[in-house]
A and B are shown apart, each in its own frame.
Chain A
Amino acid sequence: MKTITSMCFSALLGALAIAPAHASLYKDPGYVEQSARVVTKNNAVGRTHQYRDQQGWMYVDSVANGATSGFYQAGNWLKLHDRNFKMAIGFVEFSFNPSELDCTQGMSFNLKVGEDSVAAFKPNCDDLLDASVSYPVEYYFDLIPEPIKPKLELPLDPLGLLKLGVKFGAGVEAGADFTVGGVIGGHGNEAPFEVGGVRRPDYIYASVEPYVGGVVSSSAYGSFGHGIAEAGVKGKLSLLKVKGKGYVEAGIRRVVVDEQVREEGFLELKVSGKLSGGDGKIQGYCKKLWGLLVFNVDIMKWKPLYERERTFYEYASPRWEQL
């Protein structure tokens, strides 16, 4: 698509000139990934899983009708004992209008962890004149504040005679790599957009790679049953390392056909992802009679996944299309 010469294009355009109806480009696959990895757990524990999804759409229209916009998001949630906690969400609001000086106005990259926006980047059109900028960000987050940690009473023996109070927390490592770039020239843009005498990019590309990992931890908040000398929780459960990737591109150019300036556009949307890890075990234990009787019970556990990479959606305009 990017290598087609302008002569070839004119020929194609000639063929298309017969039906010059207004057209826009729109691809909207919605959710391309929605998956949960469920934890193997004790019956006393409510549903517990690590959920992820990715979604996106891209739209290109003539500059008079708003030019380009789009969206890509990867989200991760942790369900612990039937309660949902947002782990991390990374997204791009894509916006590109070459007829404006501020050609990327409205474009932003954002990372949310839990209920908070933790980082936001707004690329500047001037930084993208045949160049690219990267914004990496990452950190550790104590996901669940003490007052809302899920709690339950867990039986330690098969008959449920000895019970232990357990509460769960989660530490999360979240981040995203954001990259945005602009390309000028080499694509048959016969009447490039210029604002204030400075050419605006022919197209903009953006890549968003949010990732998340972490650990479910637990602690005993009470011990029940008679004569328990010592009771508690041991071990930890490592969460899956999930990395999503959204790649978007959109461009608008102008070609001259029969002395008429015509706008053409293209878009690209690709969503892929990578998974690995997810390992560990949390156990409850209780000792009675000076440690002569010990109960151990599995609270939750799972085994690691080997690294997998998958493409969930891929579309690229085969050619510049008339808008």
Chain B
Amino acid sequence: MKIRVYSVILLTVAILSGIGYLANLPSPSNATNQALRNAETSLFETQDKESQSTYIVQIDSSIRSDKQVVLSHSQLSWHMQLQTQAASNARLGQLSNISYTQDSQPVSLVSDLPFKVNYEQHRFEQLDLLGLPKEHTLQVTKQLFDLLSYDLTQPLVIDEAQRQATYRYQQTDNRIVRSTVEFKYHTANHKPEKEQQAWQLLLAPSGDIEKLSYINTLHWQQQQQKYIVEQSVNVVKVANSFTVLSAQSSDANAHIKVSQSPTVQREITDNASFKEALLELKESLSVAQAKVVGHYLVEHYSAYEIQALLDEMPHFSSAIIYSLQKLQTPQAEAILVDLIQFEQTSDLDKHKLAMALGRFGASSALSLQTLQSIAALPEHQVANTALLSLGTMAYFTPEQAVNVKNYLQQNISEQFNLSTTVLAVENSKDPSLLAKLSPLLGSADDSAKLNSIKVLSKHTDYQDQVVSALLASPQPKFVAAFTRTMLETGEALSAANKARLKQLQSQTQNPVVRKKIAELLEEKAG
């Protein structure tokens, strides 16, 4: 009997040495007992035990205030199978029965997740999650395998949530413990006030991982507030269910959807996704989405073709023109210019194009000249819009401000479309141009006079001149416009001007003038 036992022991030791599972044999005093146990079990369960292991993993995370109010808590758990591959360090793996709750609400994740990992000298390395999206919660599997790794020969460097950590490992009997060598925080200023950590790996007699217990508590201080982040990880080996795992393709998990990601700009690949993108732009008015659509348009359509789109899809015409405006490239500018000059473009679209060219923000001489040539034709439906857009262009494209200023000055001296020019001057926000408007307070053109009163009333420097103009020509529309502007802007009336207006009020028979001055003086009283 004794001889047989010894033979079996020798055989077992030989087998085990040959496979090389153990980097460190247990201390000599226990070797015999361990080998005996291994021998008894291994002969009958070699296939199950060596080729597959199953674990239950549970990760608990919480943040609480220093007064122990729990602000957020999650629990993530799964069954994990690891299957050895013949004559290599590779393991096929699978997570199953995945369960995740966030603040007691279940969050659905996939039910199974295949993966691959290497296991060499007690370290799990080169985890391959087979294309799982980077934002997916189950990317945490990498951190789990870091926690299941150890190295008795040299310290290990591990990437943790806020820092890079180096640990040294020691084995006592069947326990592995670790001590910290160094922490390197990602953001040097952001270190916890206090930390408590306990990590322990229990090994089975075979040397396999039997149990992992890990708990980490970090105390953070932010201004006057303290909060505590706690994470615990428990892994326990359980009886094998033994379903054979087969190798999966390298992008087996690429299709998995990530929940709660903010809206991602969808790529436009065909006509159907183009229409979807236009609809998304119409509903969101998003500048980022406009650029995507604009880019697609200039890559795939000529100006003629875009004009045809404007006619085919009038409900998308603003979106199409806006997308070119927001693209802000010379190519986009050239297309906008072509579109506004095509005879077949509708008047409504031409108005939009003029507004787009004014707000383009990177306007070249091309847009400037195009808008000028349209503004020069008094019969053109879009002439006024083009002129107003020139004023706007000076503000949105500072490089064109001087050219616009010269143009508007010329309009004033030539008395060309004065009333709209006054509004274009206001759009430009140029103070030196504003000064050129004062003479128009006495203009024979009623519209020009009215607009000059409106524009100059907003500036205290011109108030005296505006009031003089009103006294010289106290028509209801002028006085009403002045009152309205003063009340909207909240500008103060000087005492002298109050007195002049009061006198006008007492001298006039016109009920509108009397009422509007009364409204103004009442608001500005005191």
Asked whether, in the complex, the Cβ of B135 is within 8 Å of the Cβ of A116, the reply is no
- Within 50-102 of A, Cβ neighbours of B (below 8 Å) are at 57, 59, 61, 65-66, 69, 71, 93, 95
- Within 446-499 of B, Cβ neighbours of A (below 8 Å) are at 446-447, 450, 475-477, 480-481, 484
Stretch in A4-12, A184-192, A258-266, A289-297 touching the partner: A289-297
Is there a chain B Cβ closer than 8 Å to A285's Cβ? yes
Asked whether, in the complex, the Cβ of B61 is within 8 Å of the Cβ of A289, the reply is yes
Which B residues lie within 8 Å of A229 (CB)? 161
Which residue of the partner chain A has the closest CB to B107? A294
* Interchain Cβ contacts within 8 Å, total number: 189
Asked whether, in the complex, the Cβ of A291 is within 8 Å of the Cβ of B229, the reply is no
Q: How far is the CA of A146 from the CA of B456 in the complex (A)?
A: 28
Which of B321, B392, B511 is close to A139, meaning CB atoms less than 8 Å apart?
Answer: B321
Asked whether, in the complex, the Cβ of A173 is within 8 Å of the Cβ of B229, the reply is no
B 340-361 binary contact with A (CB < 8 Å = 1; else 0): 0000000010011001101100
B474, chain A: closest CB distance, angstroms: 10
A 104-126 binary contact with B (CB < 8 Å = 1; else 0): 01111010000111111110000
Interface residues of B, dominant DSSP: helix
Q: How far is the CA of A120 from the CA of B321 in the complex (A)?
A: 20
In the complex with contacts A157-B71, A159-B71, A227-B162, A119-B385 CB distance below 8 A: yes
Which A residues lie within 8 Å of B69 (CB)? 158-159
A74, chain B: closest CB distance, angstroms: 14
Is there a chain B Cβ closer than 8 Å to A234's Cβ? yes
Which of B139, B285, B420, B515 is close to A214, meaning CB atoms less than 8 Å apart?
Answer: B285
Most buried by A among B73, B143, B355: B355
Is there a chain A Cβ closer than 8 Å to B501's Cβ? no
Asked whether, in the complex, the Cβ of A120 is within 8 Å of the Cβ of B423, the reply is yes
Asked whether, in the complex, the Cβ of B476 is within 8 Å of the Cβ of A59, the reply is yes
Is there a chain B Cβ closer than 8 Å to A138's Cβ? yes
Asked whether, in the complex, the Cβ of A24 is within 8 Å of the Cβ of B511, the reply is yes
Instruction: Count residues of A near B (Cβ-Cβ below 8 Å).
Output: 63
Stretch in B206-214, B220-228, B430-438 touching the partner: B220-228
Shortest Cβ-Cβ A-B pairs, 8 listed: A171-B285, A106-B446, A117-B423, A292-B61, A227-B162, A234-B262, A140-B322, A69-B477
Chain A contacts to B: CB under 8 angstroms: 24, 26, 28, 57, 59, 61, 65-66, 69, 71, 93, 95, 105-108, 110, 115-122, 136-142, 157-161, 169, 171-173, 214-215, 217, 225-227, 229-230, 232-234, 236, 238, 285, 288-295
Could you show 19 A-B contacts with beta carbons less than 8 Å apart?
Answer: A69-B476, A69-B477, A93-B447, A93-B477, A93-B481, A118-B388, A157-B63, A158-B69, A161-B71, A161-B225, A171-B286, A214-B285, A227-B190, A233-B262, A234-B263, A238-B283, A288-B229, A292-B76, A295-B72
